[in-house]
Chains A and B, each alone.
Chain A
Amino acid sequence: MKIFEYMLLAFLVLCAVSVSFSRNLLNSILIFMSFSLIMSIMWILLQSPDLAITEAAVGAGVTTILFFATLKKIHAMDEEKDQDETESRRKEK
């Protein structure tokens, strides 16, 4: 169990660092979501199930969805599609 805890903690640090170093906003949000999920497991291991439920619902669920909606609004998700389209068009030519 101790080893499992240390693995989770190491993964937490890894997630926290890689969120800030990721160039793609979509990837950042997905890593942030996994951070929240691991954090909720950590809360259970720290014997605080109240916080675990809240963290799983708010951190991993609602916040991530709101981030996705914002990305959609600012057209940050369309960019890749546009790039792909132009690349494929270039290949056709």
Chain B
Amino acid sequence: MKGTDNRCGGIKAFWRAVWEKDESDSQPEILKLEREYIPDEHAILKHRRDHDRMIEKTYDIEHNRIYGFFRRFYRVAGLLCAMALILILLVQVSYLPPVGNSHNPGSNEVAAKYIEDGLQDTGAVNIVTGMILDYRAFDTFGESNVLFIATCTVLILLRNDKKKGKDSAEEEEKRDSYYEPKNDVILQTITGVLVPIIFIFGIYVILNGHLSPGGGFSGGAIIGAGLILYLNAFGFKKTERFFTEKTYKWVSFSALTFYCLAKSYSFYTGAHHLESGIPLGKAGAIISSGLILPLNICVGMVVACTMYAFFALFRKGGF
């Protein structure tokens, strides 16, 4: 590991030196390499000559008929494919029903049912939330899982496998966030004022998801953005006090499990025409509309943690 690091550093230094030499050719700088590199000039020249000859032979349009043919063929084929795609799409557009027609497949009895019976069935004043988390709760469950799986994929791609506690000063210096301004007074003061307001707004949006515009996803995204702002102002050391990888795992796991169990229960009772026993409450009150409020909180927690986890992974490769 150490050897490869050294070699990479050497190569980087070499290219940097070459580049700077090109930039300032008036004063050629002497390259300082760790090991002296003696090039075998004869072999290099021979290799280059062979390479040039092969390239000339391959890309000679007059003699290499196949190359010339394919060069023309690809252009024509690309043009034909694009034209065919445009033609197919235009023909499809002509078969679409006219906009605003009452016999369109979009305006069937489902939309009317949602609008008429939505308040009675779900108890949510905000019909959009009632639709997302009651009529089509299964879709939302899939979406939350998609977010979780996306985080897992990012974790696989960007994870830093170094163990914690091994962070010596040298490694700290290597990290690209080392040279950033730390303890920036302007950023910290403004963050101290803004972040509580952002959090309260996010919590408000989540808790009032069934009454006013918003819901789990929007509120969670707002809280996640606030967390990212806090992280940028105060650094990882402060956020690690309340948010670690373990927190993320447990919050995501428990929220998704609760969502799954709650919705399984209501699907089971609904499919067997049983009374679910969940009171819908008085429409317009905060604690109403049955399962929608806890489900909103679950989705909000998953989304907020995912947003923060994305940023932490991109920034540092860990939490």
A58 contacts B221, CB within 8 Å?
A: yes
Do residues B314 and A50 form an inter-chain contact, with CB atoms below 8 A? Answer: no
1/0 per residue, CB under 8 A from A, across B206-250: the answer is 000000011101100110110010000000000000000000000
Say whether A57 faces chain B, with CB atoms less than 8 Å apart: yes
- The answer to whether A93 touches B24, judged by C-beta atoms less than 8 angstroms apart, is yes
Q: Does A57 contact B24, Cβ atoms closer than 8 Å?
A: no
Contacting A at CB under 8 A, from B158-213, are 176, 205, 213
Task: With CB as the reference atom, state the residue of chain A lying closest to B307.
Answer: A62
Interface string of A48-77 (1 = CB under 8 A from B): 011011100110011001100110110100
Q: Say yes or no for A22: interface residue by CB 8 A criterion.
A: no
Q: Are B310 and A57 in contact (CB under 8 A)?
A: no
Q: Is A89 an interface position by the 8 A CB rule?
A: yes
- Is B48 part of the contact surface with A, judged by Cβ < 8 Å? no
Name the B residues within 8 Å of A65 (CB-CB): 225, 228, 311
- Nearest CB in chain A: distance from B230 CB, A: 13
Chain B residues whose CB sits within 8 angstroms of the CB of A75 once the complex forms: 176
CB neighbours (8 Å) of B26 from chain A are: 93
Question: What is the distance, in angstroms, from B76's C-beta to the closest C-beta of chain A?
Answer: 26
Q: Which B residues from 19 to 50 make CB contacts under 8 A with A?
A: 20, 23-24, 26-27
CB pair B176–A50 under 8 Å, yes or no, is no
| B contact patch SS | helix
B314 adjacent to A70 (CB under 8 Å): yes
List residues of chain B with CB within 8 A of the CB of A62: 221, 224-225, 228, 307, 310-311
Contact partner of B214 (CB less than 8 A), chosen from A50, A66, A90, is: A50
Query: Cβ of B215 and Cβ of A50 under 8 Å apart?
Result: yes
B24-A53 in contact (CB<8A) = no
Taking CB atoms, residues of chain B closer than 8 Å to A73 are 176, 314
Report the Cα distance A64→B221, complex, angstroms: 13
By the criterion CB–CB under 8 Å, are A53 and B307 in contact?
no
A61:B221 contact, CB within 8 angstroms? yes
Chain B residues 305 to 319 lying within 8 A of chain A, measured CB to CB, are 307, 310-311, 314-315
Task: Determine if B128 is an interface residue (Cβ-Cβ < 8 Å).
Answer: yes
Contact B314 A57 (CB under 8 A): no
B314 proximity list for chain A (CB < 8 A):
66, 69-70, 73
* B177 to A, closest residue via Cβ: A72
Asked if A69 and B311 make an inter-chain contact with CB atoms under 8 angstroms apart, the answer reads yes
| Chain A CB within 10 A, most for which of B126, B218, B222 | B218
How far apart sit A20 and B278, CA to CA, in the bound complex (Å)? Answer: 52
Interface residues of B in 119-156 (CB under 8 A from A): 126, 128-129
- Taking CB atoms, residues of chain A closer than 8 Å to B222 are 53, 57
Rounded to whole angstroms, the CA-CA distance of A53 and B24 in the bound complex is 52
| List of B residues within 8 angstroms of A57 by Cβ | 218, 221-222, 224-225
On whether A61 and B225 interact (CB within 8 A), knowing A54-B218, A86-B23, the answer reads: yes
* Chain B hits for A49, CB < 8 A: 213-214
Q: Shortest CB–CB separation between residue B94 and chain A, in angstroms?
A: 25
If A50-B128, A62-B228, A70-B314 touch, whether A89 touches B218 (CB-CB below 8 Å) is no
> Separation in Å of the A73 CB from the closest CB of chain B?
7
Minimum CB–CB distance for A25 against chain B, Å? 16
With a cutoff of 8 Å between Cβ atoms, the chain B residues found around residue A70 in the complex are 314
**Which of B24, B176, B225, B315 contacts A90, CB < 8 Å?**
B24
Q: Which 9 A-B pairs have the closest CB atoms?
A: A49-B213, A57-B221, A69-B314, A53-B218, A61-B225, A54-B218, A50-B213, A57-B222, A58-B221
Q: List 26 A-B contacts (CB under 8 A).
A: A49-B213, A50-B129, A53-B213, A53-B214, A54-B218, A57-B218, A57-B221, A57-B222, A57-B224, A61-B225, A61-B228, A62-B221, A62-B224, A62-B225, A62-B310, A65-B228, A66-B314, A69-B311, A70-B314, A72-B176, A73-B176, A86-B20, A86-B23, A90-B24, A93-B24, A93-B27
